């Protein structure tokens, strides 16, 4: 199917619906996500070192902060270059997996 035609068809379906776009796509959301969370941290380097130590067994990508991807969840943690902040996004197969890993990382942040 031509991408332009598919896009126009999708726009037509959405515009003729009484639902909001977010309601329309909610049934297709496959994963639970925290959205972006900001933390104020004095010791950013220490936090990053501890998170790397905790998650090294999953393999860490070092592009735009650090990213970890497993079968059940992924996260990205990155530093602000201008403030004492770090930003975290976690997404996973369900809320329990995401919240469990969020708590682990937040414990590291508090101790950083």
* pLDDT single digits (tens) 27-86: 776 789 999 999 999 889 999 999 999 999 988 898 889 999 999 999 999 998 889 999
Using 50, 70 and 90 to split pLDDT, how confident is the model at 103? very high
C-alpha distances (whole Å) from 88 to each of 1, 19, 35, 61 are: 38, 31, 8, 15
Please provide the average confidence, as pLDDT, over all residues in the chain.
Answer: 89
Using 50, 70 and 90 to split pLDDT, how confident is the model at 1? low
C-alpha distances (whole Å) from 41 to each of 67, 93, 104 are: 19, 28, 16
Task: State the pLDDT at residue 89.
Answer: 96
- The pTM of the full predicted model, rounded to 2 decimals, is 0.72
**Structural domain boundaries in the chain:** 1-29, 31-111
Helix (H, G, I), strand (E, B) or coil at 35: coil
Q: Quote the CATH superfamily of domain 31-111.
A: Alpha-D-phosphohexomutase, C-terminal domain (3.30.310.50)
């Amino acid at each position: 199917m031509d991408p332009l035609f598919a896009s126009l068809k999708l726009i037509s379906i959405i515009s003729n619906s009484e639902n909001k776009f977010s309601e329309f796509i909610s049934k297709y959301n496959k994963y639970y996500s925290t959205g972006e969370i900001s933390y104020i941290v004095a010791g950013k380097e220490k936090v990053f070192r501890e998170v790397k130590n905790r998650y090294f067994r999953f393999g860490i990508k070092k592009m735009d902060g650090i990213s970890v991807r497993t079968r059940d969840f992924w996260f990205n943690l990155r530093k602000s270059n201008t403030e004492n902040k770090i930003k975290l996004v976690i997404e996973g197969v369900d809320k329990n997996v995401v919240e469990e890993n969020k708590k682990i990382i937040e414990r590291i942040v508090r101790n950083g």
